[in-house]
């Protein structure tokens, strides 16, 4: 059985079926991410004065990841262009670059997650707060690389504080009231941060798997039906561009504000 309109444009829509399908899918994705962005805005404007974090994320990592995704969008386009002019070698090279860039993005994102996972805020019995990265812990004490502040509010706006002095902080277990890492459960910022970036990272992972398939075993189709294969590359490229566009909004919203 032959699948219709995989190459030729359908007369009523003016495009081939896979392209229509991916745009319908992307429309649903806009609604998904749009809802989460709305949640972010509402959480942020609803946060009590001085309780929304600033400067919790490293802008350098965010910038590098933005560059990586921007480059991957370019390599995706070049891979599609190479397919269109029937240069299979170039296609392989550019799509291989896309996969590498995507893996680098995920590597940096994993490092950022790990950094938040080992970052702890500890409420002490004397009313102060210890904050920093966990170095070691046992039954008697916890050692952080960080600092102690008198008011929890001092931990929120890091961008306004210049010359934050960090050092080794040893805390007796007996003096701890509450100890919690910067996971999604820490506060509304970390919750929406992990939700948005986690969902985005899953899209990157899914897109990478599809692109890897088209780069590897799926590329056999190029020999038998190059035009249909080129359309597949375009459709995967459209999804990839959408995921990159989401990051273009995520980066300033989470890292710069």
Sites of contact with other proteins (CB under 8 A): 14-15, 19, 23, 63, 66, 70, 73-74, 76-77, 80-81, 84, 159, 234, 237-238, 241-242, 244-245, 248, 251-252, 256
Annotate 64-121 with DSSP letters as a single string: HHHHHHHHHHHHHHHHHHHHHTT-HHHHHHHHHHHHHHHHHHHHHHHHHHHHHHTEEE
Nearer to other proteins, 28 or 174 (CB): 28
**Distance in Å, CB of 196 to other proteins, minimum:** 17
Closest approach of Cβ 219 to other proteins, in Å?
Answer: 18
Region of 164 (left: φ > 0; alpha: ψ -120 to 50; beta: rest) is beta
CA dist., res. 247 & res. 227, Å (int): 31
Q: Which is nearer to other proteins, 145 or 241 (CB)?
A: 241
CB distance 129 to 25 below 8 Å = no
Task: Name which of 13 and 110 has its Cβ closer to other proteins.
Answer: 13
Tokens representing residue 81 in the block? 């262009």
To the nearest 10 degrees (0 to 180), the angle between helices 226-251 and 88-117 is 30
Question: Shortest CA distance to 79 belongs to which of 225, 191, 229?
Answer: 229
* Of 71 and 106, CB closest to other proteins: 71
In the complex, the smallest distance separating the C-beta of residue 100 from other proteins, rounded to whole angstroms, is 20
Instruction: For the CB of residue 23, give the shortest distance to other proteins in the complex, in Å.
Output: 7
**How would you list the strands of the sheet with 167-172, edge to edge?**
167-172, 141-149, 129-137, 119-124, 176-181
Min. distance of Cβ 89 from other proteins in angstroms? 18
CB of 184 to other proteins, least distance (A): 26
Is the separation of the CB atoms in 40 and 253 below 8 Å? yes
Helix axes 88-117, 188-215, angle to 10 degrees: 160
Q: Which is nearer to other proteins, 144 or 243 (CB)?
A: 243
- Residue closer to other proteins by CB (options 183, 252) is 252
């Amino acid at each position: 059985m032959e699948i219709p309109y995989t190459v030729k444009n359908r007369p009523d829509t003016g495009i081939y079926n896979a392209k229509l399908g991916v745009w319908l899918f992307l429309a649903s994705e806009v609604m998904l991410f749009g809802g989460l962005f709305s949640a972010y805005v509402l959480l942020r404007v609803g946060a009590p004065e001085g309780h929304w974090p600033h400067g919790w994320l490293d802008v350098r990592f965010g910038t590098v990841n933005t560059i990586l995704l921007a480059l991957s969008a370019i390599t995706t386009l070049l891979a599609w262009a190479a397919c269109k002019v029937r240069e299979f070698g170039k296609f392989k090279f550019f799509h291989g670059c896309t996969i590498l860039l995507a893996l680098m993005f995920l590597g940096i994102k994993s490092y950022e997650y790990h950094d938040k996972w080992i970052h702890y805020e500890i409420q002490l019995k004397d009313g102060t707060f210890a904050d920093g990265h966990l170095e070691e812990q046992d039954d008697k004490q916890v050692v952080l690389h960080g600092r102690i502040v008198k008011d929890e509010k001092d931990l929120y706006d890091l961008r306004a504080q210049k010359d934050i002095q960090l050092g080794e902080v040893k805390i007796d277990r007996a003096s701890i009231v509450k100890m919690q890492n910067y996971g999604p459960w820490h506060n509304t910022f970390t919750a929406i941060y992990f939700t948005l970036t986690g969902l985005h990272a899953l899209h990157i992972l899914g897109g990478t798997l599809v692109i890897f398939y088209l780069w590897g075993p799926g590329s056999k189709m190029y020999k038998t039906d190059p035009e249909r294969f080129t359309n597949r590359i375009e459709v995967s490229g459209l999804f990839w561009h959408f995921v990159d566009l989401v990051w273009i909004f995520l980066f300033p919203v989470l890292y710069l504000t």
